[in-house]
């Protein structure tokens, strides 16, 4: 089978929705990253997603819905969840909630890896919502990459991830580059104190303002609650050297902000390095722009034949938490992978 990218016209979205109804797996755009979707009520379809991604089956998937109120069909929705839904949905926020005792829709336990909770997201992206609504079922969708590798923000990234692989998506729908560029913020509101399990565009301070209470963060957690948050993830093949203050001989540079004070062993300064060796996430030092370009820059620099990639420091502020989280995991050596 040859994998092809289909532009997300109405016809192709209808075709993709039909495929999903018959248990196929479709890669589709969202505002965060491209997802690899399958009918969340169909265990065979969901197993296919795990297989295509080579994803460990203990790592549960996020269920995507087209309308916020669809969540009531399979979750016990807490007061905290309702407030966050009203403030941030549709958008880049996933909520972890208990499964309903008497659901109208039964989510496959392959999606939840047997947990009593489920992560749910209502994306903002027009094509994503259209596709889910036409499929008529919630879609389980992890990021459309091989497990542990860099997440895809374009359909070309999805294509290069699965080209030549024995297991492939049945279809790739394309609709531009992801505008946010980092996976959704995940908040556990299944009981007790709300906790952020994964940093993303919706910030801790935004969540605390809406809930009028303090929110726990992932640091120091044993990660029992978010089994998918492996230490090594989003990884480039080329090692990353974080918080670099200079560029060593032969290295490429993942930059942030001005290069004026960045030293280089091979050139007069980092600003004199050849263009192809440098990706600047945001020359202006803008974290929103940096989040949008991070995975694309990592994909690009990873194509080069260099011993390592120097990464300039990114401030731990606002979106900086989400960006540094991805960089830390990407820089974790393979041995620490479990």
C-alpha pair distances (Å), 249 with each of 267, 307, 309: 9, 9, 11
Stretch that binds ligand TXA, among 101-109, 224-232, 274-282, 288-296 (CB under 6 A): 224-232
- Asked if residues 297 and 289 have their Cβ atoms less than 8 Å apart, the reply is no
Count the site residues for ligand TXA by CB under 6 A: 29
Q: Which does 24 bind (CB under 5 to 8 A by kind): Mg ion, ligand TXA, none?
A: none
Among residues 172, 186, 255, 287, the one that binds ligand TXA under rule CB under 6 A: 186
Q: How far apart are the first and last CA of the chain?
A: 34
How far apart CA 176 and CA 95 sit, in angstroms, is: 26
Q: Least distance to ligand TXA from the beta carbon of 320, Å?
A: 18
Q: Least distance to ligand TXA from the beta carbon of 248, Å?
A: 32
Measured over the CA atoms of residue 264, residue 270, residue 272 and residue 277, the dihedral's sign is positive
Among residues 30, 66, 143, 149, the one that binds Mg ion under rule CB under 5 A: 143
Question: SS3 helix, strand, coil % of the chain, rounded to 5?
Answer: 30, 20, 50
Q: Least distance to ligand TXA from the beta carbon of 94, Å?
A: 5
Beta bridge partners of 155: none
Q: Which does 33 bind (CB under 5 to 8 A by kind): Mg ion, ligand TXA, none?
A: ligand TXA
Provide the greatest CA pair distance for the chain. Answer: 67
- Asked if residues 96 and 119 have their Cβ atoms less than 8 Å apart, the reply is yes
Q: Least distance to Mg ion from the beta carbon of 48, Å?
A: 17
- Identity of the residue, 183 or 251, whose beta carbon is nearer to ligand TXA in the bound complex: 183
Beta-strand (E) ranges in the chain? Answer: 5-7, 26-28, 35-39, 62-64, 93-98, 117-121, 139-140, 171-174, 185-188, 195-198, 240-241, 246-247, 252-255, 263-264, 278-280, 309-311
Contacting ligand TXA within 108-167 (CB under 6 A)? 112, 115, 117-119, 121, 141-143
Which residue's beta carbon is nearest to the bound ligand TXA?
Answer: 228
Count the site residues for Mg ion by CB under 5 A: 1
184 binds Mg ion (CB under 5 A): no
Q: Which residues bind Mg ion (CB under 5 A)?
A: 143
Q: Which residues bind ligand TXA (CB under 6 A)?
A: 30, 32-33, 35, 59-62, 94, 96, 112, 115, 117-119, 121, 141-143, 183-184, 186, 197-198, 225-229
């Amino acid at each position: 089978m040859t994998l092809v990218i289909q532009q997300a016209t109405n016809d192709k979205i209808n075709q993709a929705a039909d495929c999903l109804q018959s248990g196929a797996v479709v890669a589709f755009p969202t505002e965060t990253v491209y997802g690899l979707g399958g009918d969340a009520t169909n265990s065979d379809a969901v197993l296919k997603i795990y297989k295509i991604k080579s994803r460990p089956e203990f790592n549960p998937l996020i269920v995507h819905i087209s309308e916020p109120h669809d969540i009531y069909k399979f979750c016990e929705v807490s007061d905290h969840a309702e407030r966050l839904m009203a403030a941030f949905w549709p958008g880049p926020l996933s909520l972890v909630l208990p499964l309903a005792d008497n659901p109208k829709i039964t989510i496959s336990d392959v999606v939840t890896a047997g947990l009593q909770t489920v992560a749910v997201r209502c994306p903002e992206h027009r094509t994503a919502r259209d596709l889910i609504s036409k499929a008529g079922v919630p879609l389980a969708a992890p990021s459309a990459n091989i497990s542990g590798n860099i997440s895809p923000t374009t359909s070309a990234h999805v294509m290069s991830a699965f080209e030549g692989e024995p297991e492939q998506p049945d279809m790739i729908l394309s609709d531009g580059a992801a505008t946010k560029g980092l996976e959704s913020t995940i908040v556990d509101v299944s009981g007790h104190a709300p906790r952020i399990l994964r940093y993303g565009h919706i910030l801790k301070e935004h969540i605390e303002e809406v809930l009028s209470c303090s929110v726990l963060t992932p640091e120091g957690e044993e990660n029992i609650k978010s089994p998918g948050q492996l230490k090594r993830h989003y990884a480039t093949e080329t090692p990353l050297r974080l918080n670099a203050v200079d560029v060593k001989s032969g290295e490429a540079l993942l930059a942030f902000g001005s290069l004026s004070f960045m030293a280089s062993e091979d050139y007069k300064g980092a600003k004199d390095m050849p263009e192809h060796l440098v990706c600047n996430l945001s020359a202006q030092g803008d974290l929103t722009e940096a989040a949008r370009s991070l995975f694309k820059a990592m994909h690009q620099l990873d194509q080069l034949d260099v011993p390592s990639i120097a990464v300039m420091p990114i401030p731990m502020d606002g979106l900086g938490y989400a960006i540094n989280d991805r960089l830390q995991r990407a820089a974790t050596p393979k041995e620490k992978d479990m």
